[in-house]
Copies of this chain bind each other. A is one copy, B any other.
Amino acid sequence: MFSQSEENYLKAIYHLSAISDKGISTNSIAEKLETKASSVTDMIKKLSEKKVVVYKKYHGVHLTEEGSKIAANVIRKHRLWEVFLVDKLNFSWDEVHDVAEQLEHIKSPKLINQIDALLGFPTHDPHGDPIPDKDGNLKTIDKSLLSTLSKNEKGICVGVDDSSSEFLQFLDRKGITLGKQIKVLEREDFDDSFSILIDDKKLSISKKIANNLYIKKT
Contact = CB atoms under 8 A, between A and B. Distances in A.
A20 interface: no
Interface of A: 85, 88-91, 95, 98-99, 102-103, 106-108, 110-111, 114-115, 118
Q: How many copies of this chain? A: 2
A90 B114 contact: yes
Contact of A89 (B85, B106, B115): B115
Contacts of A106: 99, 102-103, 106
A89 B111 contact: yes
Nearest to A99: B108
Contact of A110 (B95, B103, B115, B118): B95
A103 to B, nearest CB: 6
Contacts of A102: 106-108
A121 to B, nearest CB: 14
A89 B85 CA distance: 15
21 contacts: A85-B111, A88-B118, A89-B110, A89-B111, A89-B114, A89-B115, A89-B118, A90-B114, A91-B110, A91-B114, A95-B110, A98-B108, A99-B106, A99-B108, A99-B110, A99-B111, A102-B106, A102-B107, A102-B108, A103-B106, A106-B106
